[in-house]
Chain A
């Protein structure tokens, strides 16, 4: 069964609105979570690294005011795409580090499809 759960699996929103994606670690505490986006036929691109209780570290070129990341607990991180535009349409994936395998084990969520119309 999945150890990292993302919700929603897919979402369609109007241009200019905001949408929130949740990433939960199931049955383990994840001090670090990662957010990626993936365009068709391309590899995952790291957007930000999220540590519980502190501000996320964003990769170069990722707008932190547009992609708000909150890691308020050891089992939940959220990504909010603010004022979404059609070019934000993508597949967003989170991952969490920890669990039985320890620090070297990273589990990915199932991903969330965002379509902005």
Chain B
């Protein structure tokens, strides 16, 4: 069964600190993996997209990694800001139109 699991479910950090979010998937055949940021009550916004051959991709303070062998991905946020408070969703695409969504990690950044 195609699944995407994220951890932790929620996370609280202080402003300026770094954090890492995890994503494990059992999607086959694998096409690509995306990380999205979703503010409460808003649509998801793309942060990164990685294909099978890519190990790391950065977007500003966000750095995503992908290990296709272990089927794991991480999203590292550097020097967190209050505006980073949101849900972060890992989405894996099989070789079809279908996207498999993780349940997300709710991040709260406090001053």
Contacts and interface: CB of A to CB of B under 8 A. Distances in A.
Interface of A: 4, 6, 32, 34, 41-46, 49, 91, 93, 95, 97, 104-111, 113
Nearest to A51: B97
A108 B41 CA distance: 13
Contact of B42 (A41, A104, A110): A110
A80 B20 CA distance: 40
Contact of A109 (B32, B34, B43, B106): B43
Contacts of B89: 43-44
A109 B41 CA distance: 11
A111 B43 contact: yes
A46 B99 contact: yes
Contacts of B42: 110-111
Interface size band for B: 20 to 34
Nearest to B101: A43
B49 interface: yes
Nearest to A9: B41
B103 A42 contact: yes
B49 A104 contact: yes
A113 B49 CA distance: 27
A34 B97 CA distance: 9
Interface of B: 32, 34, 36, 41-46, 49, 51, 89, 93, 97-99, 101-104, 106
B101 A32 contact: no
Given A32-B97, A43-B89, A105-B49, 19 more contacts: A6-B43, A34-B97, A42-B103, A43-B103, A43-B104, A44-B89, A45-B101, A46-B98, A46-B101, A49-B98, A91-B41, A104-B51, A108-B43, A108-B46, A109-B43, A110-B43, A111-B42, A111-B43, A113-B41
A90 to B, nearest CB: 12
Contacts of A91: 41
Closest 8 pairs (CB-CB, A-B)? A108-B43, A110-B43, A43-B101, A108-B44, A43-B103, A111-B43, A109-B43, A44-B101
Contact of B46 (A32, A34, A41, A106): A106
A43 B51 CA distance: 22
